[in-house]
Amino acid sequence: MSRFIRIAAFLALIAVLISACAAAPSRTSEEAAPPIEPGGGFRDDSVGEAPVAGPGKPQSSTAERLVIRTATLNIIVDDPADALSAIARMADEMQGYVVTQNLTRTTGANGVQYPQATITIRVPAEKLNQAMDQIKALVNNPDDDVLSENVTGQDVTSEYTDLRSRLKNLQASEEQLREIMASATKTEDVLAVQQQLTQVREQIEVIQGQIKYYEEAAALSSISVNIQARASIQPLEVGGWRPVGVARDAIQALIFALQALATIAIWGVLFLLPIGLVIALPILLVVWVVRRGLKRRKAPVQPAS
């Protein structure tokens, strides 16, 4: 009996190691696919009851995709502190939360200190676009005061499916090990199976944590906002004269002049030079033949001795 238990425990351990390293099998049946919630996301009964809503996606064949969306904004406002408070309040109203927020003061070129703020929030994925619109509504002129805007998405469907498959295999191995330990009679066999059972349990908890992270990251999109004070980016002005603007215009004119010279050089090398060679070579050949003939005619005739 002891030998049988050891062999069974060894086989169970091998199954655990294979399940931990194997890639996710293709989902060819409804049993292999995770159950779909009405909101278009996944529900994992093994790691929690909260469904993951499909972030801003219609309920179609693509609703099963698990996408983590991240957004960044760089805006200009009159008062960064007021904008910071408004964004934090908006996140709370949308059932989200503030990850980090920071309000500092920076020194401009004129030696004056100006406030500057940064904030990162998480909001429900389906409200990402709405949150972005509300943040951009804090500026006076969206065309000029929204310096940058970026939204990216990371499709983690493959990793998520792989983790669920590995979790299922590990849970099956855990059940087998528990059955083996229940039938063990010797202390050494119980300890051996208990050690393997502990290892399997640790892997299960790690994978459950990874699954939970993917679900929460897909359910709550991240928005990072950099907020600058309008006064800190105003150009230097002396009596209505803006040196920065003049320097910018001069540099732009220089760039245009260099572009024109480069264009002329490129046309000269790639177009005019080949055309000139085609035309000049026959002319040069005719001139050489004529000169050679003239030299022969002018050559003095040597008297016969």
What per-residue confidence (pLDDT) applies to 235?
A: 55
Q: What percent of the chain has pLDDT over 70?
A: 70
Residue range 116-167, pLDDT digits in tens:
999 999 999 999 999 999 999 999 988 888 999 999 999 999 999 999 999 9
pTM flag (> 0.85): no
Average pLDDT (68-72) is: 94
More confident residue, 121 or 275: 121
* Most confident by average pLDDT, 207-221, 223-237, 254-268: 207-221
What per-residue confidence (pLDDT) applies to 179?
A: 87
- Map out the domains of the chain as residue ranges: 2-63+156-212, 66-155+222-233, 238-291
Rounded to 10 deg, the angle between the 187-219 and 2-21 helix axes is 20
Of 11-25, 132-146, 193-207, minimum mean pLDDT range? 11-25
The band of 184, judged by pLDDT with boundaries at 50, 70 and 90, is confident
The band of 85, judged by pLDDT with boundaries at 50, 70 and 90, is very high
More confident residue, 69 or 63: 69
β pairing state of 67-77 and 146-155: antiparallel
Q: How far is CA 248 from CA 5, 92, 111, 267, in A?
A: 82, 43, 22, 29
* Most confident by average pLDDT, 120-124, 285-289, 301-305: 120-124
Q: How far is CA 80 from CA 67, 85, 95, 233, in A?
A: 31, 9, 23, 13
E strand intervals along the chain: 67-77, 97-107, 113-124, 146-155, 220-229
Average pLDDT (94-116) is: 85
Q: What percent of the chain has pLDDT over 90?
A: 37
Place of tokens 């939204």: 151
CA dihedral (187, 193, 199, 202) positive or negative = negative
Give yes or no for residue 11 having a pLDDT over 80: no
Give yes or no for residue 51 having a pLDDT over 50: no
Residue range 232-265, pLDDT digits in tens:
776 555 555 555 556 667 787 888 888 888 888 8
What per-residue confidence (pLDDT) applies to 162?
A: 93
SS3 letters across 162-206: HHHHHHHHHHHHHHHHHHHHHHCCCHHHHHHHHHHHHHHHHHHHH
